[in-house]
Amino acid sequence: MFTTILLVAIVANSGVNNLKDWTVANTSMELALLTISLVDVMQTRYFLNCDPYGPIHGDEANPLLGKHPSALKLYVGASAAVALHAIIAKLLPNEGPREIWQAIGITVETIVVTHNYKGMGFRMKLRF
């Protein structure tokens, strides 16, 4: 996840678009997405490590990761998704499309975390 934070910072300060149109609100939205994505990853790691026949277990729903991704695949996939989201946000025009894109990302990830919570409670474990 450190790599993701670094990539978001680089993108936010890159010359991909005129730097003047990237706002504090844009950075806040990307950091919100990063935070909720980290919760999703920690929840996923927890339930993938549980006994498959116990009361709390599950499969990863993201078809790109597969039902039982390795920790490395999960971390790389999540980091790439957050970084790609920030890059796309940076390429979009400000005052409309960018904010909509950012809100959609946060909403989708919030729905995923809520679904995880309803299925297993707020259990998280971060292991490297």
The answer to the question of residue 81 being in a domain is: yes
Q: What is the sign of the dihedral through the CA atoms of 44, 38, 1 and 46?
A: negative
Contact 8, 34 (CB under 8 A): yes
Give me the DSSP letters along 32-73: HHHHHHHHHHHHHHHHHSS-TTSSS------TTT-SS--HHH
Range of the domain at 68: 2-120
Q: Which amino acid is at 115?
A: H
Residues 108, 114, 118, 124: what is their CA dihedral angle, to the nearest 10 degrees? 110
> What's the number of domains the chain is made of?
1
The answer to the question of residue 18 being in a domain is: yes
Whose tokens are 């890159």? That residue is 14
pTM of the shown model: 0.74
The answer to the question of residue 44 being in a domain is: yes
For residue range 94-110, what is the model confidence (pLDDT) as tens digits? 888 999 999 999 999 99
For residue range 10-57, what is the model confidence (pLDDT) as tens digits? 555 555 545 578 899 999 999 999 999 999 888 888 877 766 665 566
